[in-house]
Amino acid sequence: MKRAATLSALACLLAVTAAAPTSPGAAKRPERPYQGSLLDAVPKKGVLKVCTTGDYAPFTKLDPAGRTYSGVDIEMARDLAKSLDAEPRFTATTWADLTRDVAARRCDIGVGGVSITPARARQVYFSEPTREDGKTPIVRCADKDRFGAGTLKDIDKTGMRVVVNPGGTNEEFTRANIKQATIKLHPENTTIFQEIIDGRADVMMTDASETLYQSRIHPELCALHPDKPFTFSEKAYAMPRGDEEFKEYVDQFVHLAKHDGTYAKYEDEWMK
């Protein structure tokens, strides 16, 4: 009887509480941020936040005048956003900060010739790779014979000047392999190849894809053995860890783009 009476009293209390009018001045409960997958959140917002450096053609290039981005991975990001019924919102980052920005969810995805490394993979998920790549030298064509076969031994000599952009895999590779030559840091990746053209540096080691693009737009520069790079690497897109649904979607998006000719078309526009 006591238990029945208690339940009856509780039911009455709940009914009164539910029927009580809300005070006009009562504070509203703050709206909670979306906790689900980006696969649902991006279409809901209508925006795909994309982190990119803008300094690594042919994958990402920022036009400083119009503040617009272009490149192979920029076009892929636009297609990805469209597939999610969203618009891309490009956010500038640096090579030192790109994966940290993605991990902190300052953006939904990071693009622009991002190489997969174990250190980066500890911070973010990577999509299915878009292409294979590897480090190779680029030099003045007039100096090509000076480098012989273009081996690391040919490059790592006293008096040789190796220019490198800081904060990414280029610097990591150069510092691990260059002990005798002089390493010159140049913070602007968009102007770094001019250092070689103007004779302030002798060689840069970067991804073969970039050497092919730069030798195309600068006939004074020659890529050494881009078909046989020093290293093996793969490029992909970076995403926040833990969001399995979004990762699976991006994987499928990349897979289809690689096999239906979309990705190859964008690369051909820049590299051939």
| pLDDT at site 22 | 39
| pLDDT at site 30 | 42
| pLDDT at site 18 | 41
Query: Contact at 8 Å (CB) between 53 and 95?
Result: yes
| pLDDT at site 98 | 96
Q: Which residues contact 94 (CB under 8 A, 6 or more apart)?
A: 53, 167
| pLDDT at site 64 | 85
* CA atoms of 184 and 64, how far apart (whole Å): 25
| pLDDT at site 233 | 96
What is the end-to-end Cα distance of the chain in Å, rounded?
87
The string of pLDDT tens digits covering residues 97-115 is: 999 999 999 999 999 999 9
Q: Calculate mean pLDDT across residues 197-206.
A: 98
pTM as predicted: 0.80
* CA atoms of 261 and 18, how far apart (whole Å): 59
Residues 184-201 as b/e (b if ≥16 CB within 10 A, e otherwise) read bebeebeebbebbeeeeb
| pLDDT at site 65 | 86
* CA atoms of 196 and 254, how far apart (whole Å): 35
Residues 114-137 as b/e (b if ≥16 CB within 10 A, e otherwise) read bbbeeebeebbbbbbbbbebbbbb
Query: Contact at 8 Å (CB) between 53 and 60?
Result: yes
Q: Is the pLDDT of residue 254 over 50?
A: yes
**Which residue intervals of the chain are DSSP H helices?**
2-19, 38-45, 72-83, 98-103, 118-121, 152-155, 169-177, 192-197, 208-217, 244-259, 262-271
Question: If you count them, how many residues does the chain have?
Answer: 272
- Highest-pLDDT range among 26-30, 54-58, 177-181: 177-181
Query: Contact at 8 Å (CB) between 62 and 92?
Result: yes
Q: Calculate mean pLDDT across residues 212-231.
A: 96
Tell me the CA distances in angstroms from 40 to 49, 111, 125, 166, one per residue in order. 14, 20, 18, 36
* CA atoms of 65 and 15, how far apart (whole Å): 64
Average pLDDT, the chain: 89
Q: Is the pLDDT of residue 39 over 50?
A: yes
Q: Calculate mean pLDDT across residues 220-244.
A: 97
What is the CA angle 37-43-44, rounded to 5? Answer: 85
Q: Is the pLDDT of residue 180 over 70?
A: yes
* CA atoms of 94 and 99, how far apart (whole Å): 9
Give the tokens for residue 55: 């300094």
| pLDDT at site 35 | 64
